[in-house]
Structure 1
Amino acid sequence: MTIWRGTTPLILASQSHARQALLGNTGIEFEAIPANIDERAVQQSAALATPGEIAAFLAREKALAVSMFEVDRYVIGADQTLAVGETLFTKPAGRVQAAEQLRALAGRVHELHSAVALARAGKILFETVAVARMTMRPLSEAEIATYLDEAGDGVTASVGAYQLEGLGVHLFERIEGDHFTILGLPLLPLLSFLRSQHLLAL
């Protein structure tokens, strides 16, 4: 017996390995079909300013982009922004930019806004945004260099140049928010909605 009660597998419109692992660990049958959209172009065309609005908008757009082709299936879209105040960060292009981001974040509080949207037949059925507040400890140049050496090319895979589930945990002194929000998929409210629609057996 599967936990998922839908007639076809759920779709996760994301190529994020972290999101796929989170959803996979729930026991829900799903298929990963990344949305084919230019996120930065879509974001600029929407002319949104706040980090939460941007994350929510991109999550909706990803879900809708895949839902247009998979009309009978439930599609999850997700997005995450990292901001210090209203200043947004994007994934670093390489080691130099990763070091710059770590210097900018060190000793300060930043916020991760994680959004999730559920679509079917080109319509949004559910959406929410969760926030995690992350306090990075002060870092010396030597510590930044050591971290970048140890983390390798992985620093370009995530905004902020860290992955909390890996070596990035060494960079922090305080975290306010749940594990799922930090990894970019607010699972608890999503599961609650799916349960309310009788789509889960548990």
Structure 2
Amino acid sequence: MSLVLASQSASRWAMLEAAGVSFEALPAAVDERAIEQGLDGSAADTALELARAKALAVSAQRPGRLVLGSDSLVEVDGRRFDKPASREDAAQHLRFFSGRIMYLHSAAALARDGEVLWDHGAAAKLKVRLLSDQFITAYLGHEWPAVAGCVGVFRIEARGVQLFEAIEGDQFTVLGMPLLPVLGALRDLGELAS
């Protein structure tokens, strides 16, 4: 297989490895904030555009190779959240999320030679429980800086699961990539056995 993953996300790497998909990782050098500023769509549309931009950027560096780009965005009460800039920023995010519904939008795109061949977006709905300041301090004491690169300030496969009362949606979407549709697209493109 000639797949290139345009990401440095440990959870995306782990998902592909666990699924038996061989790949080369080459993080995309794109200015996500600049791309976001040029868009006026929903969080779901923005995640899809960022996934496409990452796939296209890396496909320019790897001619002939199939490139998988992916992105995730968190939206709470109509407000989008990026990865926290600092531990205090992470604490502020968690205080805002407390007792609210979080929508996590994950998207993926496959590109080859500067052309997007496929893309897909998915969403999960996560009910954040009421979080005390004491919990937030202890949580970040254990999880920081590991969650510094995570939108939503959590790793669901770690202590982040303690943030939630309920989750509706695909576990892979929550981990940061709609894996089942990605695998289907790889099969359709002849990159995986049917």
Residue among 106, 109, 112 paired with 2:104: 112
Partner of 1:153: 145
Give the number of equivalent residue pairs: 194
Partner of 2:15: 22
Provide the TM-score with structure 1 as the length reference. 0.92
Q: Is the 8 A contact 1:95 1:155 kept in 2?
A: no
Q: Is the 8 A contact 1:58 1:79 kept in 2?
A: yes
After TM superposition, list the pairs within 5 Å mapping 1:3-82 onto structure 2.
6=1, 9-44=2-37, 46-82=38-74
Residue among 136, 157, 161 paired with 1:165: 157
Q: Is the 8 A contact 2:77 2:101 kept in 1?
A: no
The 3-state SS of whatever aligns with 1:161 is: coil
CA-based RMSD of the aligned residues comes to 1.2
The one-letter code matched in structure 2 to 1:10 is L
Provide the TM-score with structure 2 as the length reference. 0.95
Change (3 A) 1:155 1:197: closer
Aligned-partner Cα distance in 1 for 2:161–2:28: 29
The 3-state SS of whatever aligns with 2:161 is: helix
Residue among 174, 178, 183 paired with 2:166: 174
Aligned-partner Cα distance in 2 for 1:15–1:61: 15
The one-letter code matched in structure 2 to 1:15 is Q
The 3-state SS of whatever aligns with 2:61 is: coil
Aligned-partner Cα distance in 2 for 1:12–1:142: 38
Aligned-partner Cα distance in 2 for 1:152–1:184: 19
| 1:24-43 deviation line (CA, Å, top 9, x unaligned) | 11111110011111111122
Aligned-partner Cα distance in 2 for 1:78–1:155: 18
